Amino acid sequence: MIRYALQCEHGHEFEGWFGASSDYEEQHARGLMDCPMCGSKNVSKAIMAPAVSGTKAQRAEAPPPQAQEMMMQAAQAVRQHVEENFDYVGDSFAREARAIHEGRSEDRGIYGEASGGEVRKLIEDGVQVAPLPPGPPKKREIN
């Protein structure tokens, strides 16, 4: 897991955890990140001090492994809940989300895939969407 310090256009700072740096790049390109404080979609990496070893007094406290594990478990629980209770609509997500928003389709929870442009347009039009936490790594992706 990679932890990035993130910041929105309004200066709110928060953390994001990603399976790989490419996960951050993909989510950023697709417009799937937003500020948890204000909802701004204009999110970027904040300047981070490099992790340099030194004396105990100089080292920042890292989150305990238990906290990291709890966050990962919570994200997986959210994903599992969505997969078990929402309708998977595949690459029809943007079209179906818009139809639900406009009352042309049954109001229900859905999940699927959408391009960054589709997601941005949905958000601009007031359709509430959120990224789904990534699934566990596939066995072939584990070292």
Q: Is residue 94 part of a domain?
A: yes
pLDDT tens per residue, range 82-128: 999 999 999 999 999 999 999 999 999 999 999 889 999 999 999 99
Could you give the percent of the chain with pLDDT greater than 90? Answer: 31
For the whole model, what pTM was predicted?
Answer: 0.52
> Based on the domain organization, do 90 and 22 belong to the same domain?
no
CA distance 111 to 51: 37
Task: Report yes or no: 8 and 40 within 8 Å, Cβ to Cβ.
Answer: yes
Supply angle C-alpha 4, 9, 120, rounded to 5. Answer: 85
pLDDT tens per residue, range 19-34: 778 888 888 888 888 8
Q: How many domains does the chain have?
A: 2
Confidence check: pLDDT of 49 > 70: no
CA distance 31 to 117: 8
**Residue 7 belongs to what domain range?**
1-47
